[in-house]
Amino acid sequence: MSAKLILYILLLLCINLLSISRWKKFRIAEKLIAVLIFITVFAEVIAAYAVQRWHNNMPIYHVYTPLEFFLISLYFNYSIKAFRRKNFGVLLGVIGVLLSFCNTLFLQKITTINSYFLMFEGTVIIGYCLLSFHQILMDEERLPYRFAHFWMTVCFMIFWSATFTCWGIYTVVEQDNSLFVSIFNKLLAVANFTFYLGIASIFLFYKKLIPSGG
């Protein structure tokens, strides 16, 4: 394992420890994110092993990404009031899983990156974030930064916006340029670390925030 990957796994493990210490105080929404982080640790460790053993870890992500999308959809289902009333988040999560299955079965082989589904996932999650911001900003009685949901939404928005920007640049630049590929990988790594450091901060200061769905 590279030093970067070891740091990444250690960060995820630290978030797991934080979530365990805060578990009794978490609402359902935060518990879903904690479960997602727990699953992420296993997925990343297995993916790292798969690269060493079979030189391909794409099958791991074909399984992980729809599960990730489903749990994130459930998170927003419980934290966005309009979704919670009719379980729109659950519905969109199920649709996402089905689309991922169809993508793997008919469009992008399990040994290749499931970029079509990732594009769908990112677009929908950014949509969730915009609806979430609307709900938070419409609350005239409490300041936005008091909500755990606000900071969670900021983390998702920054991560997926940065990821989309990197992918967009990657498609128009010569992909055999080793310098650019190195920069591209580093930018994605920064986006990942920023996202999970943000989640860690939310869990760390959770007692001072209004819970998601609150």
- What does the pLDDT look like over 74-128, one tens digit per residue? 999 999 999 998 999 999 999 999 999 999 999 999 999 898 999 999 999 999 9
The domain in which residue 161 lies consists of 3-208
Q: How far is CA 143 from the centre of its chain?
A: 25
214 located within any domain: no
pLDDT average, residue stretch 41-66: 94
16 located within any domain: yes
Question: pTM here?
Answer: 0.93
Whole-number Å distance between alpha carbons of 214 and 196: 23
**What is the CB-side half-sphere exposure of residue 4 using CA atoms within 13 A?**
9
Give Cα separations from 126 to 72, 149, 155, 158, 159 (angstroms): 11, 14, 11, 9, 10
Q: Which residues pair with 147 in a beta bridge?
A: 210
213 located within any domain: no
153 located within any domain: yes
- Predicted confidence at residue 214, as pLDDT, reads 57
Split at pLDDT 50, 70, 90, the class of 213 is low
Whole-number Å distance between alpha carbons of 79 and 59: 31
User: Would you say residue 175 has pLDDT above 60?
Assistant: no
90 located within any domain: yes
Mean pLDDT of the chain, nearest integer: 91
Number of domains in the chain: 1
33 located within any domain: yes
- Predicted confidence at residue 171, as pLDDT, reads 61
